[in-house]
Amino acid sequence: MMLPVGKLPLAAEALTGPTGRRLVTGVVSQCDVHCPSRRLTAFFTLTRKQVSKMASIGTDQKGRRRILFVDEEGKRKTVWLGKVTERSAQDIKLRVEGLLQARLLNRDVDPGLAAWLKGLKPKMAARLAKAGLIAAPGGKGARTLGPFVLGYIAARADVKQATVTNWGHTRRNLVEHFGADKPLRDITPGDADGFRIYLTTVAKDPRRSKAAKKKDPTAEPPGLAANTVRKRISNAKQFFKAAMRKGLIHVNPFEDLSGAVGSNRSRDHFVTTEAATKIIDKCPDAEWRLIFALSRYGGLRCPSEHLALRWEDINWAAGRMTVRSPKTEHHEGGESRVVPLFPELLPYLEDARQIAPRDAQHVITRYRDAGQNLRTTLQKIITKAGLAVWPKLFQNLRSTRETELAETFPIHVVCKWIGNSMAVAKKHYLQVTEDHFDQGAGKSAHPSAHHSAADGCPESQATGPTIKKAAESNTVPRSVHMSMGVTGLEPVTSSV
């Protein structure tokens, strides 16, 4: 990483050589350079042991321990711990090193460290703030961009980890564009306009950059997607609103910028039953078949609702299941909803139940980590099935199911099952399919298309009795599929 020299923090980027040694390229701060426009790059060769020694533990004559480190400006700093065990001191030392690394490399702290900061007691938080590692509310450090936003995120113990991660991306973009030491009061509405342009043209999204490189290796990585830009503008507006409420600034520079996430219907994709069958056939195990079926035939949000589902939530006799929804639990009555055991979904639940340990609590057991990359695995499965990967993989599975259900059941019932509002369903989920055009033109639907019960399809007319019989017998023939019209599912929104 090469940066202009001057009053800049020490920035370093570590690469691991073939012998296991770290090759670090960085910029030395406070260098005496006669020409301010010159760039100075310092090259270091450090062992892994040396890289890890960013902080040390000291003990005074009274047995009180402290963490010693040198900050990005080359100043020696101390965090007093008091009379704590060596193990506790080592743990805090690692946290301090994590904070230092994030500051030195201008990166976000990792999720585990962010969670630790949120749970800090005021006394320890004050000690870290005194050492300049985090911002103290109302203090001098809180008046500059980087420390203020980091302190705001760390103090929000009321939000979920996914929100913390999302905020972290926005903080990274703000610091990249303005610099961590930019005073909050110096950021103007014009600067906010410039930040929006930066997001759309310069800021990098690893996934979009990778896709662009595949198409054209010489192409410059594109900026962020439109909805991503809106979301990060919304986050920035929230950060500066919090600064206003603390009296640090008097005007929110992002106030006039729109942060509302819009609907991009060009990314809709209807996943037909035939395509779903091909994909399920290529799934590596019963649990992956169930993950896909819960999304495509149950309309569940993946991964949060899949991971929250327990066997006690399945009412086999009544043909229903209770779906716990972490996303909407903060809304009144949104903590859970009751969904039918659709005939297309039931066989995969039964298979999973048969192979699950007798004392198993959760339906999904092998993929319990909410941060696990199910998206990449599903992409590989889709490719193996001979199909093209579509946008918004899991979102469009959910959208497809809501579209199907809306062809047969009243929309208020469908929304109750899917867990969204009618406004959200119409704006983000319900799709217009090829069959709709064919029916509108008076053409017969494609032989493989879904039909609603109103179409007079014998299979559709048998759907009602089939569901009732399945609920009574707790089984359903694999060849029986509930036929419904085609439409879509819902995208990620800020509410429901």
Model-level pTM? 0.55
Residues listed for the chain:
496
Residue 154 shares a structural domain with residue 39: no
pLDDT tens figures, 293-315: 999 999 999 999 999 999 999 99
Q: Is residue 178 part of a domain?
A: yes
Tell me phi and psi for residue 80, to 5 degrees.
-80, 135
Residue 208 shares a structural domain with residue 354: no
Lowest mean pLDDT among 3-17, 240-254, 320-334, 341-355: 3-17
Contact between 72 and 10 under an 8 Å Cβ cutoff? The reply is yes
Residue 331 shares a structural domain with residue 186: no
pLDDT reported for residue 444: 64
Among 262, 283, 304, the domain boundary falls at: 262
Residue 195 shares a structural domain with residue 344: no
Grouping H, G, I as helix, E, B as strand and the rest as coil, residue 488 is coil
Among 262, 282, 306, the domain boundary falls at: 262
DSSP state at residue 144: B
Contact between 418 and 429 under an 8 Å Cβ cutoff? The reply is yes
Residue 277 shares a structural domain with residue 397: yes
Q: Is residue 214 part of a domain?
A: yes
Residue 373 shares a structural domain with residue 239: no
Tell me phi and psi for residue 45, to 5 degrees.
-120, 110
Total number of domains in the chain = 3
Q: Is residue 63 part of a domain?
A: no
pLDDT tens figures, 394-437: 999 999 999 999 999 999 999 999 999 999 999 889 998 888 88
Q: Is residue 444 part of a domain?
A: yes
Residue 18 shares a structural domain with residue 141: no
How high is the mean pLDDT of the chain?
Answer: 77
Residue 303 shares a structural domain with residue 395: yes
Q: Is residue 484 part of a domain?
A: no
Contact between 78 and 131 under an 8 Å Cβ cutoff? The reply is yes
* Burial label, 122 (beta-carbon count in 10 A; 0-12, 13-18, 19+): exposed
**Where in 307-434 does DSSP place strands (E)?**
314-315, 320-324, 336-340
DSSP state at residue 185: G
Q: Is residue 104 part of a domain?
A: no
Residue 295 shares a structural domain with residue 255: no
**Where in 163-310 does DSSP place strands (E)?**
none
Torsion over CA: 343, 346, 348, 350 (sign): negative
Residue 236 shares a structural domain with residue 291: no
pLDDT reported for residue 170: 95
CB-side neighbour CA atoms (13 Å) of 107: 15
Among 262, 281, 309, the domain boundary falls at: 262
| pLDDT confidence band for 462 (50 / 70 / 90) | very low
Q: What is the CATH number of the domain that holds 208?
A: 1.10.150.130
pLDDT tens figures, 275-297: 999 999 999 999 999 999 999 99
pLDDT reported for residue 495: 43
Helix H or strand E encompassing 26: strand 22-27
Q: Is residue 83 part of a domain?
A: no
Q: Is residue 219 part of a domain?
A: yes
Grouping H, G, I as helix, E, B as strand and the rest as coil, residue 316 is coil
pLDDT tens figures, 45-57: 333 344 445 789 9
Q: What is the DSSP string of 50-88?
A: HHH-SEEEEE-TTS-EEEEEE-TTS-EEEEEEES--HHH
Residue 252 shares a structural domain with residue 311: no
User: What is the distance between the alpha carbons of residues 312 and 306, in angstroms, rounded to a whole number?
Assistant: 14
Residue 252 shares a structural domain with residue 312: no
- Domain span at residue 42 reads 1-53
pLDDT reported for residue 11: 35
CA distances from 101 to 104, 200, 309 (A): 5, 28, 38
